[in-house]
Amino acid sequence: MTDDGENMESIIKTIDIHKSFPLGNHEMLEVLKGVDFEVQPASLTILKGRSGSGKTTLLNILSMLDDPTSGKVIIDNTDVGSMSVRKRELMRRYNVGFIFQSVALVPIMSAYENVDFGLKLAEYKGDRDARIKEVLSIVGLEKRINHMPSQMSGGEQQRVAIARAVAHKPKIIFADEPTGALDTATGLGIISLFKKLIEKEGITIVMTTHDPNLMSFGDAVYEMEDGELRYVPGE
């Protein structure tokens, strides 16, 4: 459900997600305590919260990188829990894009090749070269396509990661603290870029952040606190 109350079919839906981690001594730490949550297509959903509040754990579960201890994740009307490992791999490959806080570019590949690698994985059917140049141009790196990650600044690297994440036109992008390592201006630039991509490519973006300056850009903002997710209206 969106903040204006309009009903749309959600692209991501979670039902009573619980996640616990063993602490040793047979004790468990419950990080997620029954999360119910929906994401509308072509929107920017922001998950905010303090460090250790469980937002990355939730993002990992949403993006099928991790399994919940209990509960259901439904993506694009499919229950992820019922999918085989192979199917989940393919789902991530074709329909999902990732942006990590650690940037996570492949260090041996140039900006061009990093994006190309994403396209190859997703078996992109169109003109790959044109698409690479296009997305790198969207992120403002058209002049740095042959630069290696080590030759670029943190912000530039993050923009390459974004270009790689969006290049194959996934349905959803999961971004974990994409602006965490960046200064405010660069961070804002990245969020504007997200907005532009949502508008232009119709992508759904779910991102985590603890930067209060970015909240106003989200179509929906949720706050994670002590393993529980709370919708934050008006942000």
Residues in contact with another protein by CB under 8 A are 60, 63, 65-66, 86, 89-94, 96, 98, 100-102, 104, 106-109, 113, 116-118, 120-122, 128, 148, 150-151
Residue 82 CB, shortest distance to another protein, in Å, is 18
Q: Measured from the CB atom, is 60 or 186 closer to another protein?
A: 60
Query: Are 38 and 10 within 8 A, CB to CB?
Result: yes
Selection from 172, 41, 35, 19 nearest residue 95 by Cα: 172
CB burial readout 16-44, b (16+ within 10 A) else e: ebebbeeeeeeeeeebbeebebbbbbbbb
Strands 96-99 and 172-176: parallel
Closest to another protein by CB, 118 vs 218, is 118
Least CB distance from residue 171 to another protein, whole Å? 13
Beta carbon of residue 3, minimum distance to another protein (angstroms, whole number) = 30
Q: How many residues does the chain have?
A: 235
Closer CB to another protein, 25 or 150, in the complex: 150
Segment (H or E) for 23:
strand 12-24
For the CB of residue 61, give the shortest distance to another protein in the complex, in Å.
9
Whole-angstrom distance, CA of residue 41 vs CA of residue 74? 13
State which residue, 182 or 220, has the beta carbon closest to another protein: 182
Nearer Cβ to another protein, position 55 or 219? Answer: 55
**Type of residue found at 167:** A
* Minimum distance, C-beta of residue 108 to another protein, in the bound complex (Å): 4
